[in-house]
Chain A
Amino acid sequence: MDEKKLLINMSQKHMLQKILDCTQYTEKFGIKLSEKDAHLLLESRKSSLKEQERIEFGEGILPKLIYTFCDSPYIYQGNYVETIGSLQEIFYLYKNECLDELTDEELLTYMKEHFDGDCQGSLEFLEETCLEELAREIRGGSLLGDDDE
């Protein structure tokens, strides 16, 4: 195995472990991921990053995403993997759409607040209405202007 492949495998194993480590915490909310689910999410991460033309380092956003959303009343074992996968996609998309002006923490907090609030668990509403509005404000400079003041 060449050095490059070895490096990728090591990094993937590390990420997989980090995701599985979340289970201990999420079990409190009645949801958990199998190793197969974690693999699926990592695959979806890869394609989302490619599609959004982004590069991710370290353990990535998935563990943070899981910790943030696991206590949502709209997530249960039946839709857990699918919802986390979609949230991950939406997250990368809006990192770009918000021109990287928001930190991971800020974007995750906004997403969670609206997902549990006015979206009532609707991913479409979150993406197409709430986040779109936020991105528009950032691009228009009104949010950034507020910060400056």
Chain B
Amino acid sequence: MMNEYSMEEILPVLATRASKYTSNESTSVSYDVARQLMGSILYCIEANGKDVSTEILDSTNKMPADAAFQIGLAKRKEKISKAKNLYETIRHSFCSYQNECYYDTVIKGMPAFFLRYDVEFDATNHILTLDYPLIYPVTDQTGIDIIHEYLIRTQIEQRFLNHFSTDSIEMILNGYDKNHAELIINICKLVLRNAIGCMLVGKSVYKLSISDEDRKKLKAIGENQPLSELERILSSALDRIIEEEFESNLNLADYLKQDIKEFAYEYKTYCELNKLNRIFLGNRTVKSQNETIFEDGVLMDDEALRSLIDKISGMRLLSDKLELVKNQIKSLADLKEVLIECFFGDEYEEVFRLLSNEEIMILQTEIATKSEYDDNLDEWETALIRFIKNRIKS
């Protein structure tokens, strides 16, 4: 729609808006303000889409730019009021499950948005950063559009979460991390995945919590499945949940399916790493277990570590290198530095043989966490995954 208007048609509208913006008290505005006003004009005109009343078309069968702006502005205002009503409905039954980011975004942020949003002169600025991540993030939108869509999706997620008891949700959140309240995580995703896990092992989805026994069954289900088949299994489990517990709510099903692809990928990865407790959560946290049973050794100071790295790098024989690692390195943090700089190829395997099962498990967990956020693993990290797999096979 906005492309239908030339600059010559838009400029008079901009002049009128600038005059209103300055309360007719300034003949000029800065480029920044002009850009902001122009953005608002185009944003409002865009709201008309192709829905144009024929009564206001001019002789060239086109709506004058000013009329298009005014009609678009009215539509944007209508949307603000719709979003406000929707927010009130959400707020009424909203639960943040103690998550600070969720609470700040919805309960503190949204009222501030409705108070400060300036559809007349700064319509594309939606003010909020919308930090709480949704299962299906809203992208490519601005202004009231992004807020309205964010609220629609928040409502879907809240409706899903409200089906489960707060206690059972908080229990699996504790299972995820004891500091879950401070994390920026999507709660709906964690609950959905556990509910699907329960469905797959034949438990009531409302239990949510997954036991070690359940995880063994889930490993058997997910092991050696191609990704596409895993997606199909998860998708049909989700369909069953929606059909049995949510009166076949297709809207909800479509929304939650946005997570299936990523879920299948993580399911497969953690299955291979034998770490399904990272996605199918129970009462006990992986992190707290690690914290209580493992204590890393003393770190070397930077200078000593640097000189050790130089020494090992200069050695020709692998056995000499391993001897130094065995005798001088006391912590996993130092070992990781040495692995990055001093070893390569088949040598990694020999270093891994020096480690205890417990140490390998710690490194494995760290790699799994890293791979959640970063696809690029270091060479030694890939070698460790390969080493673990080979060990399981043999």
Interface residues of A (CB under 8 A from B): 3-4, 7, 49, 53-61, 64, 92, 95-96, 100, 103-105
Contact = CB atoms under 8 A, between A and B. Distances in A.
A57 B28 CA distance: 6
Interface residues on B, range: 10 to 19
A82 B180 CA distance: 69
A8 to B, nearest CB: 9
Contact of A100 (B8, B15, B19, B30): B30
B28 A55 contact: yes
A100 B14 CA distance: 18
A4 B28 contact: no
Interface in B1-55: 6-8, 11, 14-15, 18-19, 22, 25-34
A100 B29 contact: yes
B26 A55 contact: no
Given A55-B18, A92-B28, A95-B26, 14 more contacts: A4-B6, A7-B8, A7-B11, A55-B28, A57-B14, A57-B18, A61-B28, A95-B28, A96-B30, A100-B29, A100-B30, A103-B22, A103-B25, A105-B25
A104 to B, nearest CB: 5
A57 B30 contact: no
A7 B32 CA distance: 23
Given A3-B6, A3-B8, A7-B8, A55 B34 contact: yes
A100 B31 contact: no
A54 B30 contact: yes
A105 B8 CA distance: 29
Nearest to B33: A100
A31 to B, nearest CB: 22
B22 to A, nearest CB: 8
Nearest to A56: B28
A54 B25 contact: no
A59 B18 CA distance: 14
A100 B26 contact: yes
A4 B7 CA distance: 8
B29 A54 contact: yes
Contact of A49 (B6, B28, B32): B28
Main secondary structure of the interface of B (DSSP, over half): helix
A129 B342 CA distance: 65
A104 B18 CA distance: 14
A28 to B, nearest CB: 25
Contact of B25 (A56, A59, A104): A104
Contacts, number: 53
Contact of B31 (A7, A53, A92, A95): A53
Contacts of A95: 26, 28
A100 B18 CA distance: 13
A125 B15 CA distance: 34
A61 B27 CA distance: 6
A56 B31 contact: no
A58 B27 contact: yes
A4 B10 CA distance: 12
A4 B19 contact: no
A100 B23 CA distance: 12
B31 A103 contact: no
B21 to A, nearest CB: 10
B122 to A, nearest CB: 14
Contacts of A64: 27
A103 B26 contact: yes
Nearest to B9: A3
A16 B254 CA distance: 63
A95 B31 CA distance: 12
Contacts of A56: 27-28
30 contacts: A3-B6, A3-B8, A4-B8, A49-B28, A53-B32, A54-B28, A54-B29, A54-B30, A54-B31, A55-B34, A56-B27, A57-B14, A57-B18, A57-B19, A57-B27, A57-B28, A58-B19, A58-B27, A59-B27, A60-B28, A95-B26, A95-B28, A100-B26, A100-B29, A100-B30, A100-B33, A103-B25, A103-B26, A104-B25, A104-B27
A56 B33 CA distance: 12
B27 A60 contact: yes
Nearest to A6: B8
Contacts of A7: 8, 11
Given A7-B8, A104-B25, A58 B30 contact: no
Contacts of B18: 55, 57
A147 to B, nearest CB: 14
- 9 interchain residue pairs of minimum CB distance: A103-B25, A57-B15, A56-B28, A53-B31, A55-B34, A54-B28, A61-B27, A3-B8, A104-B26
Nearest to B6: A3
Nearest to B34: A55
- Report which residue of B11, B26, B28, B34 has the largest number of chain A beta carbons within 10 angstroms of its beta carbon: B28
A53 B7 CA distance: 19
Nearest to B35: A55
Contacts of A92: 28
Contacts of B14: 57
A44 to B, nearest CB: 14
